[in-house]
Structure 1
Amino acid sequence: MHHLPQRLALALAVLMTLAGAGCATFVRGSTQAVTIDSLPGGATVSLSNGERCATPCTLKLKRKHPVAVELCKPGYRQALAQVRSEVGRGGAFGLAGNMLVGGLIGAGVDAASGAAKDLNPNVLAVLLLEEAPGCTVPTFPAIPEHGQTPEDYARDKAKQKK
């Protein structure tokens, strides 16, 4: 009987450790910083979600949505790239922890929020190729499958500021 409290304490410690590793939504968050840079710098970056910046720039994007990226700079060829949304290593551990501790509800929250995913690459560096006249009018690339529309992105961004 003397060992029962020790075993209970050990079981509780293991459970708390699993719970801490469990919910990726709380540990990792549903957004991720993505840095976009170019050589030479100063290119206009247009994302399929309606966001625009000049290189180098860092944007906070939802983990669950892939994003198409266009870089445009006069005198240089237009460059197109995609930032993919895929289950990352940290997210997979969080989902596994949720299945052990929180069951399907916790795993469902992580899957819905995208917290179990990573944006890849999270640093996009593009070498621009010279071309005359080059890209003179930046456009927004098409929204990839499961991507976020500009309207949804603007609504989420407004919610984050509140």
Structure 2
Amino acid sequence: MKSLLRTALVAATAASGLTACATVTRGSNDAWVVNSEPPGASVTTTNGHFCASTPCAIKMPRKSEFSAEIKKPGFKTATVSVTHKTAGSGAAGVAGNVLVGGVIGLGVDMVTGASQDLVPNPVTVKLEPEE
């Protein structure tokens, strides 16, 4: 009886360690990468993030939705809309939660956005000269 109880306890401990698989393996933030041609443009997002000069990477929550303006003197401003979608590896983490019975982990992954990827990422913009 003690052996059966010990086995059940070990299995429960292992299963609880696998909850929130995507949160543990991917994290809730991602590096959103911006490139421009020509380089050296500034990037400002509607959610308050920025970088002074492309190429650059901005740490963003995976479940963000925002617009970004890419500007460089002498060139027209480019605007990019960014959203999120369930990633292949994020979906695997969600599936791991379902298979192991980690309803709590599934909820954590959805709330934190760990199962999401920013799209498009990376962003490459060709700036047009002003006339």
What TM-score range do you get, normalising by the shorter chain? 0.7 to 0.9
Distance 2:83 2:127 in 1: 21
Q: Give the ranges of 4+ consecutive aligned residues of structure 1 lying more than 4 Å apart after TM superposition.
A: 19-22
The answer to whether the 8 Å contact 1:22/1:101 transfers is no
The answer to whether structure 1 residue 44 and structure 2 residue 17 are counterparts is no
Alpha-carbon contact 1:69-1:81 (below 8 Å) kept: yes
Q: C-alpha distance in 1, partners of 2:31/2:117? A: 10
Structure 2 SS opposite 1:55: coil
Q: Cα RMSD between the aligned structures?
A: 2.2
C-alpha separation in 2, matches of 1:98 and 1:118:
18
Shift, 1:21, TM fit: 9.2
CA distance in 2, matches of 1:79, 1:22: 37
Trace 1:1-162 onto structure 2 (pairs within 5 A). 23-53=21-51, 54-132=53-131
Letter matched to residue 44 of structure 2: S
Amino acid at match of 2:26: R
Q: TM-score normalized by structure 2?
A: 0.81
Contact map agreement 1:31 1:61 (CA 8 A) in 2: yes
Aligned-pair CA distance for 1:67 = 2.2
Query: What 5-or-longer segments of structure 2 have no aligned partner?
Result: 1-6
Deviation at 1:60, TM superposition (A): 1.1
3-state SS of the aligned residue for 2:114?
coil
**Identity fraction in percent:** 44
Offset of 1:102 from its aligned partner? 3.8
Amino acid at match of 1:56: P
Say which SS state the counterpart of residue 130 (structure 2) adopts.
Answer: strand
Q: Say which SS state the counterpart of residue 37 (structure 1) adopts.
A: strand
